[in-house]
């Protein structure tokens, strides 16, 4: 074998330490799979005094800019966030290094310019670990489904919210109680905003949408609702209807193929849908493609070793490409579709209404649905005293029609409260 | 754009017709994804008079040998079986064509020589559709998990048997009845041997094992038991223990890493295992990797369009490689591990014993387990009259120890019948 390929590692946190450790432990296997040895040339960290098991002490440096500019064959960025990660990756690319990153926020915000820069300098830019951690997903979407037309991608891509929703469902507990438990267990951050308000899922949705529909999509294009408003009542209602509630990241082609819609929000799905059994901190992405039909990818969405596994997969492919003098060109945005608003999405609603229990109420309500051309699928009435509880699910309509119907219902004198509204996704299987 | 890439299609059956149709319908998208147009130059069929919707009539030929030798950029083989497929693929490769095939039997028998030939002639040989139809699986195993160590692959890779077992489980019906239904519905062949006796799964297991463990494995290396002996009683027992029964294709590294074990047999798995909810004709492959943890791939395992989706994904990658002057080198057998026998597999057993209901019987039985150093996990006794029914599950032991224990039990005078024996796989989730 000839001279080794070099890897520079920017970041020595949980994922970085796992990458360094696995690169060391699996040196022989990786060399065999690549066709040349591969060596770590440096690990840039902020605090050089912190103990980092598995990271060779002599490789540690605090000069991250110099390591990024070192011209290594492959630069791995696992620092996260927009800056300095963006500048460091640009430095690496302009110095001829292929880049592997797990940075979803950066890719969702600046993917287009980074891809263009990588193309210009003839290097690879891979980021399998940025979405759904250990699950091989982006490469299959880009390559294995390259001969198909993807219609919709439905993902559970945030482990924290899935853990919380699973616990709320199993224990009947409310959001605040379960969030506290998740924080105590280390599944949720002290400030859980990025997870529970859907920002993390939105970045991943943007990346998935870009790959699935060959179009440049950024985080700002993603419609976003968090899961902190999901109540124990909503979950009880879901259970009664044979549904579960998940925070979904959805990217879809509009029915007339004219644009894409990308959205993150809590949704009910049938318990028989493959996504319904994705529990706790696991992730899964469900793809509806024209020829392939339904395909699902399932696994761990986070954690040092799982994320490092994805990073190393990218490192091996980038290294093989270096050996062959090849650069991956599978990224494309040729379709350049319009990103449509949530109002254009075709979906169904679940509604929970508190209404006066008097003659003519159901007629008034049904009339409001008809006015917006929304067709009712099921009505469940449950009376107590002079008021009644109505649980309604609708057939498919545009989100605009559905939200206008809710607005109209709120204006009816017989409707005392609209206590629950949620989208319903996923065909029963 | 420059001159189009050419595709020659060998086979015009269900999958071939779907490939031809999709190549036509998606010509524009495929050209954009590849960077050059792609055209079909011929479709070789046995019967030129048969109607084949979606296949341009002027492309049909019966001279399959000439089409294979035509030097097309990509030759797609969807005839199936060993010959003439093998000779045709060899002809295509020696004439400089990259080859895409869905032929599991051929790859499982002659994969090594075909890979060597492709390597020698500098062309790609892809076969994503050969295992689990539409599910992107082989490429993720070869690329995305290339930086990890796979320990075990558990697959439901045959839709016919999964349909039969799902129906037996749901309806409590026996094998013969459900097989007849499956045949009437077109889910099972008139001669179901290849499916129900596990030959189809064994070929796929060999391919999966080769990719996961970088070792040459053929169908003949695979231990195989069919599912025709699974009884309604076994299924009832599984249900009572919170298990389901699936026909599994298992490829695993031995505990000391010295070899691989590849086996196909019916097995019980906990209902909470992700594979348990894979119903009807769906396929799924569950991968246990050291760093990534558990990963699962799910989707349709057969059918014209789903299989064609996989074939076209390979065609796009092979075409991109042609454009870039690149050849994929990710296939490797460097590990060259020994293939061990079923006796070396570490597994657990479920046993159903009819025994005399008299003092000392359980002691005699427990003694037989102890003699072979097999540890009992649970015992469920159910007496009626002078005989009793014992359902026993064991902890992990080698298959050799377990099968010798069963042999020993059969020799005990108190044991009237060993009416059910099945392996138990998969950790509860």
Q: Return the closest-CA partner of residue A331 out of A156, A207, A201.
A: A207
Q: Which residues on B lie below 8 Å from A289 (Cβ)?
A: 134, 309
pLDDT of residue A357: 86
CB B363 within 8 A of CB B378: no
Q: Return the closest-CA partner of residue B306 out of A291, A240, A162.
A: A291
Probe site for chain B from A7, A131, A136 (most B CB atoms < 10 A): A136
* CATH fold of A5-133+304-324: Rossmann fold (3.40.50)
Buried b (16+ CB within 10 A) or exposed e, A15-27: bbbbbbbbbeebe
For B146, which residue in chain A has the nearest alpha carbon? A313
Probe site for chain B from A146, A321, A335 (most B CB atoms < 10 A): A146
CB B162 within 8 A of CB B279: yes
Locate tokens 């925070």: which residue? A247
Tens-digit pLDDT profile for residues A257-311? 999 999 999 999 999 899 999 988 899 999 999 999 999 999 999 889 999 999 9
What's chain B's average pLDDT? 94
Quick check: A305 and B298 CB within 8 A?
Answer: no
Task: Taking residues B263-283, report their average pLDDT.
Answer: 94
Is residue B237 over pLDDT 60? yes
A199 falls in which pLDDT band (50, 70, 90)?
Answer: very high
The one catalytic residue among B86, B104, B167, B204 = B204
Quick check: A306 and B317 CB within 8 A?
Answer: no
pLDDT of residue A265: 98
Probe site for chain B from A132, A291, A293, A318 (most B CB atoms < 10 A): A291
Is residue A328 over pLDDT 80? yes
Please tell me the distance in Å from B211's CA to the nearest CA on chain A.
11
A383 falls in which pLDDT band (50, 70, 90)?
Answer: confident
Q: Return the closest-CA partner of residue B30 out of B324, B314, B329.
A: B314
Half-sphere exposure (Cβ direction) of A47: Cα atoms closer than 13 Å = 5
| Top-confidence range, A85-94, A413-422, B179-188 | A85-94
Domain with CATH 3.30.70.260 in chain A: 345-424
Task: Taking residues B279-288, report their average pLDDT.
Answer: 94
* Cβ atoms within 10 Å, residue B118: 24
Per-residue HEC secondary structure of B306-357 comes to HHHHHHHHHHHHHHHHHHHCCCCCCCCCCCCCEECCHHHCEEEEEEEEEEEC
Q: Which residues on A lie below 8 Å from B310 (Cβ)?
A: 144, 292
* Residues 6 or more apart in contact with residue A291 via CB below 8 angstroms: A147, A148, A149, B18, B22, B134, B305, B306, B308, B309, B312
Half-sphere exposure (Cβ direction) of A232: Cα atoms closer than 13 Å = 11
pLDDT of residue A373: 97
For B325, which residue in chain A has the nearest alpha carbon? A326
Tens-digit pLDDT profile for residues B160-212? 999 999 999 999 899 999 999 999 988 899 999 999 999 999 999 999 999 99
Tens-digit pLDDT profile for residues A202-228? 999 999 999 999 999 999 999 999 999
Check the CA dihedral A267-A268-A273-A277 and report its sign. positive
Domain with CATH 3.40.50.720 in chain A: 5-133+304-324
Domain with CATH 3.30.360.10 in chain A: 138-300
Please tell me the distance in Å from B275's CA to the nearest CA on chain A.
11
Q: What percent of chain A has pLDDT over 70?
A: 99
Q: What are the angstrom distances between the C-alpha of A151 and each of A97, A138, A291, A365, A397? A: 35, 16, 10, 34, 17
* E-assigned strand segments in B221-305: 223-224, 243-253, 259-270, 282-289, 293-300
Q: Return the closest-CA partner of residue B61 out of B45, B49, B75.
A: B45
Domain at A138-300: CATH code? 3.30.360.10
3-state secondary structure of B366: helix
Q: Return the closest-CA partner of residue B127 out of B208, B52, B247, B236.
A: B208
d(CA B130, CA B311): 9
Domain with CATH 3.40.50.720 in chain B: 5-134+304-324
CB A246 within 8 A of CB A220: no
d(CA B424, CA B245): 9
Is residue A1 over pLDDT 60? no
Quick check: A293 and B300 CB within 8 A?
Answer: yes
pLDDT of residue A281: 87
pLDDT of residue B46: 94
Task: Taking residues B290-307, report their average pLDDT.
Answer: 94
Please tell me the distance in Å from B247's CA to the nearest CA on chain A.
20
Probe site for chain A from B9, B18, B20, B146 (most A CB atoms < 10 A): B146
Please tell me the distance in Å from B388's CA to the nearest CA on chain A.
38
pLDDT of residue B302: 87
Tens-digit pLDDT profile for residues B363-387? 999 999 999 999 999 998 887 777 8
Q: Which residues on A lie below 8 Å from B40 (Cβ)?
A: none
The CATH class given to the B5-134+304-324 domain equals alpha beta
Cis previous bond, B358, omega within 30: no
d(CA A212, CA A159): 22
For A291, which residue in chain B has the nearest alpha carbon? B305
Partner-chain residue, chosen from A139, A277, A429, that has the shortest CB–CB distance to B144: A139
For B327, which residue in chain A has the nearest alpha carbon? A324
Q: Which residues on A lie below 8 Å from B149 (Cβ)?
A: 26, 29
* Cβ atoms within 10 Å, residue A352: 19
Please tell me the distance in Å from B318's CA to the nearest CA on chain A.
10
Tens-digit pLDDT profile for residues B305-324? 999 999 999 999 999 999 99
Q: Which residues on A lie below 8 Å from B296 (Cβ)?
A: 296-299
* Residues 6 or more apart in contact with residue A359 via CB below 8 angstroms: none
CB A147 within 8 A of CB A289: no
Cis previous bond, B19, omega within 30: no
Tens-digit pLDDT profile for residues A29-84? 999 999 999 999 999 999 999 988 889 999 999 999 999 999 999 999 999 999 99
Is residue A362 over pLDDT 60? yes
* Chain pair A-B, CB pairs under 8 angstroms: 200
The shares of helix, strand and coil residues in chain B, as percent rounded to the nearest 5, are 40, 25, 35
Quick check: B29 and A309 CB within 8 A?
Answer: no
Q: Which residues on B lie below 8 Å from A274 (Cβ)?
A: 277, 298
Is residue A429 over pLDDT 60? no
Quick check: B300 and A294 CB within 8 A?
Answer: yes
Please give the ipTM for the structure prediction.
0.91
Least confident of A137-146, A208-217, A390-399, B317-326: A137-146
What CATH architecture applies to the domain A345-424? 2-Layer Sandwich (3.30)
Domain with CATH 3.30.360.10 in chain B: 138-299
Q: Which residues of A are catalytic?
A: 204
Task: Taking residues A3-28, report their average pLDDT.
Answer: 95
Q: What percent of chain B has pLDDT over 70?
A: 99
CB A245 within 8 A of CB A422: yes
Tens-digit pLDDT profile for residues B17-35? 999 999 999 999 999 999 9
d(CA A175, CA A266): 13
Per-residue HEC secondary structure of A187-254 comes to CCCCCCHHHHCCHHHHHHHHHHHHHHHCCCCCHHHCEECCCCCCCHHHHHHHHHCCEEEEEEEEEEEC
Task: Taking residues B228-256, report their average pLDDT.
Answer: 94
Quick check: A296 and B292 CB within 8 A?
Answer: no
Domain at B138-299: CATH code? 3.30.360.10
d(CA B148, CA B150): 6
CB B295 within 8 A of CB A303: no
* Cβ atoms within 10 Å, residue A54: 13
d(CA B294, CA A137): 14
B428 falls in which pLDDT band (50, 70, 90)?
Answer: low
Partner-chain residue, chosen from A33, A295, A300, that has the shortest CB–CB distance to B299: A295
pTM: 0.94
Tens-digit pLDDT profile for residues B387-416? 889 999 999 999 999 999 999 999 999 999
Probe site for chain B from A292, A298, A326, A336 (most B CB atoms < 10 A): A292
d(CA A165, CA A188): 12
For B23, which residue in chain A has the nearest alpha carbon? A147
For B27, which residue in chain A has the nearest alpha carbon? A147
What's chain A's average pLDDT? 94
Strand partners, A75: A8, A99
Half-sphere exposure (Cβ direction) of B241: Cα atoms closer than 13 Å = 27
Q: Return the closest-CA partner of residue B245 out of B262, B225, B219, B221.
A: B225
Q: Return the closest-CA partner of residue B382 out of B352, B413, B360.
A: B352
Task: Taking residues A313-333, report their average pLDDT.
Answer: 92
Tokens of B288: 């246990």
Please tell me the distance in Å from B379's CA to the nearest CA on chain A.
30
Q: Which residues on A lie below 8 Å from B299 (Cβ)?
A: 292-296
Q: Return the closest-CA partner of residue A228 out of A252, A199, A207, A262.
A: A199
Q: Return the closest-CA partner of residue A354 out of A404, A403, A402, A421.
A: A421
Q: Which residues on A lie below 8 Å from B295 (Cβ)?
A: 134-136, 297-300
First and final C-alpha spacing in chain B: 52
Task: Taking residues B246-262, report their average pLDDT.
Answer: 96
d(CA B175, CA B179): 6
Q: Which residues on B lie below 8 Å from A329 (Cβ)?
A: 35, 320, 323-324
B243 falls in which pLDDT band (50, 70, 90)?
Answer: very high
Quick check: A327 and B324 CB within 8 A?
Answer: yes
First and final C-alpha spacing in chain A: 52
A428 falls in which pLDDT band (50, 70, 90)?
Answer: low
d(CA A102, CA B137): 22
* Cβ atoms within 10 Å, residue A357: 15
Is residue B1 over pLDDT 60? no
Tens-digit pLDDT profile for residues A268-278? 999 989 999 99
Please tell me the distance in Å from A232's CA to the nearest CA on chain B.
24
């Amino acid at each position: 074998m000839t001279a080794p390929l070099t890897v520079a590692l920017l970041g020595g946190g949980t994922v970085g330490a796992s990458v360094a450790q696995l690169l060391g432990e699996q040196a022989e296997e990786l060399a065999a799979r690549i066709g040349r040895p591969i060596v770590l040339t440096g690990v840039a960290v902020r605090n050089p005094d912190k103990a980092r098991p598995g990271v060779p002490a002599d490789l540690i440096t605090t000069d991250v800019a110099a390591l990024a500019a070192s011209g290594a064959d492959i630069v791995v960025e696992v620092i996260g966030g927009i800056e300095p990660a963006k500048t460091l990756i640009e430095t690496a690319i302009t110095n001829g290094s292929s880049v592997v990153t797990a940075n979803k926020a950066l890719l969702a915000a600046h993917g287009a310019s980074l891809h263009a820069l990588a193309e210009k300098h003839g290097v690879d830019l891979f980021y399998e670990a940025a979405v759904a951690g250990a699950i091989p997903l982006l490469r299959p979407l880009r390559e294995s489904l390259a001969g198909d037309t993807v219609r919709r991608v439905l993902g559970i891509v945030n482990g924290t919210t899935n853990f919380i929703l699973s616990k709320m469902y199993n224990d009947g507990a409310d959001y605040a109680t379960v969030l506290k438990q998740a924080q105590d267990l280390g599944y949720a951050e002290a400030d859980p905003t990025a997870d529970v308000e859907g920002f993390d899922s939105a970045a991943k949705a943007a990346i998935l949408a870009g790959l699935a529909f060959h179009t440049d999509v950024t985080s700002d294009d993603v419609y976003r609702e968090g899961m902190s408003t999901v109540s124990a009542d909503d979950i009880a209602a879901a259970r009664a209807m044979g549904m579960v509630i998940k925070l979904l990241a959805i990217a879809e082609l509009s029915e007339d193929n004219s644009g894409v819609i990308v959205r993150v929000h809590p949704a009910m799905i049938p318990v028989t849908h493959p996504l319904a059994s994705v529990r706790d901190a696991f992730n899964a992405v469900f793809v509806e493609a024209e020829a392939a039909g339904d395909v699902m990818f399932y696994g761990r969405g986070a954690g040092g070793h799982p994320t490092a596994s994805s990073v190393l997969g990218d490192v091996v492919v980038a290294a093989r490409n270096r050996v062959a003098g090849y650069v991956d060109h599978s990224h494309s945005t040729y379709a350049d579709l319009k990103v449509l608003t949530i109002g254009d999405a075709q979906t169904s609603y679940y509604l929970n209404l508190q209404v006066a229990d008097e003659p003519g109420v159901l007629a008034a309500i049904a009339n409001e649905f008809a006015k917006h051309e929304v067709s009712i699928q099921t009505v469940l009435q449950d009376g107590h005293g002079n008021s009644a509880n109505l649980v309604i699910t609708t057939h498919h309509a545009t989100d605009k029609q559905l939200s206008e119907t809710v607005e109209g219902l709120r204006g009816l004198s017989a409707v005392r409260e609209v206590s629950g509204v949620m989208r319903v996704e996923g065909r029963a299987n």
